[in-house]
Amino acid sequence: MKPIIRSYLIEINLGATLPGAGSQIFIQDYPTLRNIFFCGAIAYSSTTLVTSPNGRSAITSTGEQSITATFVDVFNQEIVHNYPLRDLDPYFTAGFYRDFQPFQLQLTKSYITINSTTGLSANQSVLFNVLYYTNKDVANIQPSRRK
């Protein structure tokens, strides 16, 4: 695992009416996450974080199995496509988080897909901790030495 340079918790609310299977929900704009290099994401269910910072209920671990995430780069290419949310939750992966080859993230083109409504309810939120670094951080990042 690589060290985490920066992280930012984001919330994707499912809405007052639960979207049906096959629905895509795009991630809103977070000014802090503009012009960043995406390194990974950590997903949270109600098992580890019950309530979002906005006071909404987090999805359950069962609901986590019903959702995939897609992350898009600045060239509008889906770099991470339909990645299972449950595999992004360290609670279910022996404490490990998934780190990806860094790329410039286009957050507002990135989205989650509801594959099934099992375990999901209206007004629940999907919570991601986005792992990233900025151009300013590049000079401070030490290359890893592998033998």
Q: Is residue 141 part of a domain?
A: no
Among the listed residues 98, 111, 117, the one whose alpha carbon sits nearest the alpha carbon of residue 18: 117
- Chain-centre distance of CA 117, in angstroms? 19
- Kind and range of the H or E run holding 71: strand 67-72
Is residue 111 in some structural domain? yes
- With a CB cutoff of 8 Å and minimum separation 6, the contacts of 123 are 13, 14, 15, 16, 56, 57
Average pLDDT, stretch 38-48? 94
In a domain, 140, yes or no: no
User: Is 32 inside any structural domain?
Assistant: yes
Distance CA 101, CA 105 (A): 12
Predicted TM-score (pTM) of the model is 0.90
Residue 111: give its domain's CATH number: 2.60.120
Total domains present in the chain: 1
In a domain, 97, yes or no: yes
In-domain check, residue 12: yes
- 19 part of a folded domain: yes
Chain centroid, CA 22 distance in Å? 18
Q: What percent of the chain has pLDDT over 70?
A: 95
For residues 36 and 5, the answer to whether their CB atoms sit within 8 Å is no
Domain hosting residue 123, numbered range? 6-135
Domain assignment present for 142: no
**Predicted confidence (pLDDT) at residue 34 exceeds the cutoff of 70:** yes
As a whole number, mean pLDDT of residues 115-136 equals 94
How far is 81 from 91, CA to CA, in rounded Å? 22
